[in-house]
Chain A
Amino acid sequence: MSKLLEVRNISKYYTHKDGWLPGRRICALEPLSFSLERGETLAIMGETGSGKSTIAKIIAGAEKPSSGELFINGQALDKMADQQRCRYVRMIFQDSLRSLNPQITVGKQLLEPLLFNHDGRSLEERKKRVFETLRKVGLLPEHYHFYPHMLSSGQQQRVCIARAIVLEPQIIVADEAFAALDPSIRAQIINLILDLQQDMGISFIFVTHSPEIVKHVSDKILIMHRGKMIEFGTTQALITDPQESLTATLLQADNNYKVPLHSTTKE
């Protein structure tokens, strides 16, 4: 199989500037490399502030890496303009409501990526494409005329997914896209994503805290700790034979989050 995405030595440094003094450099991401094949799902896990969102944002193009290169099918992804990049990589944000423009209807927001990548399609064809996409994510063509605040949070998340798949990309990056949803909707959305992945052959990269989702969905796992990649391997390998204790803790789902009996109110 050919490598779809190749990440070579990307790193990210922020300069924390305070007044006139030269700023301090803060390392968010130390150089790391990995690769992903077509149709695979990669889960990025780690503690808060470990740089996992930074990787997601760099791959999606929301942030520029301080060094390193990204290749998609052998083409340099980080040299591409946003307009070209969005045909390959799309992003789903953490907060669906905030990532939708509150003043524009859902339909117009979905037309937006098509407007600049329409390949000579007419407005009617583009609208048809938006309607199809809305159906694909389980919404109705009527939702075209809705404003984001009129939808429930699950529907908003579906709109965000629709926006990600409307250009038929090869990779979708989801930055903790499921964290804010309640369990039943989360299950719906995850199944939706799995269906889309089967239909369209998309690779997924997602950042998450939840080991259940990781076990259910992902092919590979990448564990981050303080800006370093400490482990990278198949889900099978990492669960059965974790090399680091952090990996074991993060992937050990069942009793980790359970609240002790005494702390709950007795009902």
Chain B
Amino acid sequence: MQNANIYFQHREPSPLRQIWLHLNANPFAVAAFYFLCAALLIMIFSPWLVPYAPDSQFADAILQPPSWSDQGEIRFLFGTDDLGRDVLSRIIAGSVYSLGYPLLAVLIAAVIGISIGAWAGMSRGVQSSTLNHFLDVILSIPSLLLALVIIAILGPSLLNVMFAITLVLIPQFIHEVHNAIYDERYKEYVTASRLNGVSRWYMFSRVIFPNITSRLVMQTTFALSTAILDIAALGFLGLGVQAPAPEWGTMLARSLDQVYVSPWMMILPGLALFITILSINILGDSVRAAIAERVRQS
């Protein structure tokens, strides 16, 4: 076979690839990245992955300890709870509530927030200011408290929680995008593009947006960990996802009664929640560090 590459050619990596290489150098970031990928896959395929239906009760195996314990059985890998439900199945099925719904809330908030923020950032004067501060009043209330207020009015349900969390996240996205665009728009390369006679849409989508993605990634990871914590906290308080649904926060709340008898019922969902949030934060922070490193080097 003919080899067209006779000479060794040193190719400097593209900006995105550079970030990936920086990330790869950090073992914690890599671990967090793979864990999150696995968690996402498990969440997507949870209906096929669960060994039992999350609600099915086994009367013969109530409060079964996990399988590595002496009294455990291998058919219930993580043991069973006080109603004889398989904890592993419930944790896997719960990832939809505890990871999928926050993802959805962040996605919706990001789409709305980034559009309004971009509009605010690309316009000037009163219009920009109005759009930027249009949802600011929401920022004055902590997200959990606002969720409580909305639930107090509309009643406890997952939909209301989602609504509250999305509403809280939108102004944060607006501000982040607006500020990022304002930081960029007087830089020389933007002026150069303006003198090229580019249209406003091209200016935003091709010139400025690629340069603010890093800040958006950070904002998104931050929003995601907030959303996960809030949904779990409201589930724990019994105001969000309602009891039979296998949400991790709800499972924690239920396990409180039997914490001395069956600690695995509390530890396992808690661990799932802890590792998920930890890896999201580690990944977000590493991405930020990688981007800062790339900017410093160039």
Interface residues of A (CB under 8 A from B): 60-62, 81-86, 90-91, 93-95, 97-104, 112-113, 115-117, 146-147, 149-150, 163
Q: Which residues of A contact B188 (CB under 8 A)?
A: 93-95, 98-99
CB pair B189–A99 under 8 Å, yes or no, is: yes
Bound together, the chains give a CA A97 to CA B192 distance in angstroms of 12
> Number of contacts between A and B (CB, 8 Å)?
75
Q: Which residues of B contact A117 (CB under 8 A)?
A: 197
Q: Interface code B179-215, partner A: CB below 8 Å = 1, 0 otherwise?
A: 0000000011101111111110010001100110000
CB pair B195–A116 under 8 Å, yes or no, is: no
CB pair B195–A115 under 8 Å, yes or no, is: no
- Known contacts: A95-B188, A98-B187, A115-B202. The answer to whether A103 contacts B195 by CB under 8 A is no
- Known contacts: A93-B188, A98-B188, A102-B211. The answer to whether A147 contacts B12 by CB under 8 A is yes
Interface residues of B (CB under 8 A from A): 12, 14-15, 187-189, 191-199, 202, 206-207, 210-211, 298
CB pair A149–B198 under 8 Å, yes or no, is: no
CB pair A61–B198 under 8 Å, yes or no, is: no
A-B contact pairs, 25 of them (CB 8 A): A62-B191, A62-B194, A81-B197, A82-B195, A85-B195, A85-B197, A86-B196, A97-B298, A98-B188, A98-B189, A99-B192, A102-B211, A102-B298, A104-B206, A112-B193, A112-B202, A112-B206, A113-B196, A113-B197, A116-B202, A146-B12, A147-B12, A147-B14, A149-B298, A150-B12
CB pair A101–B15 under 8 Å, yes or no, is: no
Q: Which residues of B contact A60 (CB under 8 A)?
A: 195
Bound together, the chains give a CA A97 to CA B198 distance in angstroms of 20
- Minimum CB–CB distance from A234 to chain B (whole Å) comes to 29
CB pair B206–A91 under 8 Å, yes or no, is: no
List the A residue with the shortest CB-CB distance to B213.
A103
Bound together, the chains give a CA A61 to CA B14 distance in angstroms of 32
Q: Which residues of B contact A95 (CB under 8 A)?
A: 188
CB pair A103–B198 under 8 Å, yes or no, is: no
- Minimum CB–CB distance from A146 to chain B (whole Å) comes to 8
The dominant DSSP class at the A interface is: loop
CB pair A82–B298 under 8 Å, yes or no, is: no
CB pair B15–A147 under 8 Å, yes or no, is: yes
List the A residue with the shortest CB-CB distance to B15.
A103
Q: Which residues of B contact A86 (CB under 8 A)?
A: 195-197
List the B residue with the shortest CB-CB distance to A83.
B197
CB pair A163–B192 under 8 Å, yes or no, is: yes
Picked from B14, B211, B298, the residue with its CB within 8 Å of the CB of A101 is B211
CB pair A103–B12 under 8 Å, yes or no, is: no
List the B residue with the shortest CB-CB distance to A117.
B197
Q: Which residues of A contact B199 (CB under 8 A)?
A: 116
Q: Which residues of A contact B187 (CB under 8 A)?
A: 98
CB pair A93–B197 under 8 Å, yes or no, is: no
- Minimum CB–CB distance from B195 to chain A (whole Å) comes to 6
Q: Which residues of B contact A94 (CB under 8 A)?
A: 188
CB pair A116–B196 under 8 Å, yes or no, is: yes
Bound together, the chains give a CA A97 to CA B207 distance in angstroms of 15
Bound together, the chains give a CA A115 to CA B210 distance in angstroms of 18
